[in-house]
Structure 1
Amino acid sequence: MAAFIARGRPLIGVTASVHGSRIAWWANRLALRRAGARAVRITARDPFPIERLDGLVVGGGDDIDAALYGETALPKMRIDPERDRLELCALDGAAARRLPVLGICRGSQMINVHRGGSLLTDIHEVYEEAPRLRTVLPRKRIRIDPRSHLYRILGIAECRVNALHHQAVDRLGDGLRVVARETVGIVQGIEAVHHPFLIGVQWHPEYLVADQRQQALFRTLAATAAGTASLEDATAL
């Protein structure tokens, strides 16, 4: 947190695959810049010291290795073991330093796995009635727990989000709670019970650039990383 005083803006790490989409990186970088933060891209090939960060975004990407939560990978799963190790290590460091963390899509799932939880390897095998959506446009309706940190940030109990996933949180990890679901029941948001900002969302707020409620996730992350705001102040940011 003291880094904010020395450099003027908090430094947020954004994890990504070595060969991952640059579009997601630039979208996250822009969202963080608009929120008043600087961003650094972190990959297995280009790691970054966690002790130099003020906050962390665990980004979207390939599936997480099912062996990490005691399941067998499906043939269609595309995994990135090096990134898995990088993010688990980054989350260890963030936990030790109590850094604010935002998990996006895969990143939300990784937060759950890091805390001992499991995933649905394919949501459509369990939720057969779930629409098979894959779009950056807000086409999926979700409900948010009004008692949650996520609700205080977004300021709304229902909204539409985008969908680029086929996996989701199943068994919750230690100290986590479900704070958002879509109408068929699939988990769309999780957060830590005893942490100033450890939130995972199954959608991609970085692509919803015109939605100020969604961009509040980045503003609150940046402000918390800078040590200038609490979650109670989030709706005023």
Structure 2
Amino acid sequence: MSRRPLIAVTTSRRSGWRIFPLVALNIRIAGGRAVRWGAGRPSDLSAVDGLIVGGGDDISPVLYGGDLVTSARLDPDRDALEHRLVCGALDRNLPLLGICRGSQMLNVALGGTLDQDAYATFERSEKVYTILPKKTVRVCDDTRLSAIAGRSDMRVNALHSQAVDRLGTGLRVAARDTGGMIQGVERIRDPFALGVQWHPEHLFYARRQRAIFRALVTAARAYAEDRNQTRDVDADLGPEPDPSGKVF
């Protein structure tokens, strides 16, 4: 039996103490193991098989040429660390998953921009702020996310005010909400890279959300064993069967 891939998880200084255990649990369920990274902590990409950039904190518009809004809660040290890690992961062919802020950082690192007041732009989007699955997300057809987690609409949580605006190089839209706001982005080829605007770590009871972590761990194992990541993920695609037909 092959070893469990090691996944680095970046977290907020404010909430990392409670979020990291949840993410680590999801990684363990998926067959991997986790190590926590953050500003001021060791962070050597050569020591891990995959990367998760977690949620919390807004991303400074300095990184993408935007204007600062007064409501933004920033952590410049975290911005610098995660921007470096995402760029480094892509350069090393290291698979990664972006969660909420992490999805936005993936986009920014690839030259994209963010909408700092997304709900003002997308007035028809459901504006909820909860860890409970109360927001509807429409998964785009013919995407890797649709193959990983299924094509039907899913109910997710939402804890964000910013969202992806202009797409970064090499990314495509993987999901939108009912108002058209981007809720998921992904790369088409190696390294495996997926960003979701919601927080699947809080929804570990949902098969479709666990499938997202399983895909990352599968890609990380492929990276560790020098195999094609997207091919391995494709071979292992699809959430666990759910006879109840739930849309989580």
- TM-score range, shorter-chain basis? over 0.9
3-state SS of 2:80 partner: helix
TM-score (norm 2): 0.89
- Choose the corresponding residue for 2:35, options 40, 44, 62: 40
Deviation at 1:103, TM superposition (A): 0.3
Percent identity of paired positions between Structure 1 and Structure 2: 47
3-state SS of 2:238 partner: helix
RMSD: 1.6
Please give the alpha-carbon distance, in whole angstroms, between the structure 2 residues aligned to 1:203 and 1:63: 14
Corresponding residue for residue 230 of structure 1:
233
3-state SS of 2:84 partner: helix
Corresponding residue for residue 83 of structure 1:
78
Structure 2, unaligned runs of 5 or more: 226-231, 241-248
TM-score (norm 1): 0.93
Give per-residue Cα distances to partners, 1:34-57, cap 9 Å, x unaligned: 111110000011132100110000
How many residues were matched structurally?
232
Structure 1 residue 24 and structure 2 residue 19: aligned?
yes
Give per-residue Cα distances to partners, 1:151-180, cap 9 Å, x unaligned: 110023311110000010000011111110
Please give the alpha-carbon distance, in whole angstroms, between the structure 2 residues aligned to 1:124 and 1:196: 31
Please give the alpha-carbon distance, in whole angstroms, between the structure 2 residues aligned to 1:77 and 1:110: 15
Structure 1 residue 220 and structure 2 residue 215: aligned?
yes
Q: Which moved more, 1:169-178 or 1:131-140?
A: 131-140
Please give the alpha-carbon distance, in whole angstroms, between the structure 2 residues aligned to 1:236 and 1:31: 14
3-state SS of 1:235 partner: coil
- 1:18/1:45 contact within 8 Å kept: no
Please give the alpha-carbon distance, in whole angstroms, between the structure 2 residues aligned to 1:226 and 1:98: 13
Residues 194 and 102 (structure 1 numbering): CA distance in 2 closer, same or farther, change over 3 Å?
A: same
Q: Structure 2: which amino acid aligns with 1:231? A: D
Structure 1, unaligned runs of 5 or more: none
- 2:123/2:179 contact within 8 Å kept: no
Deviation at 1:86, TM superposition (A): 0.5
Question: Equivalences for 1:122-133 in 2 at 5 Å?
Answer: 122-133=117-128
Corresponding residue for residue 107 of structure 1:
102
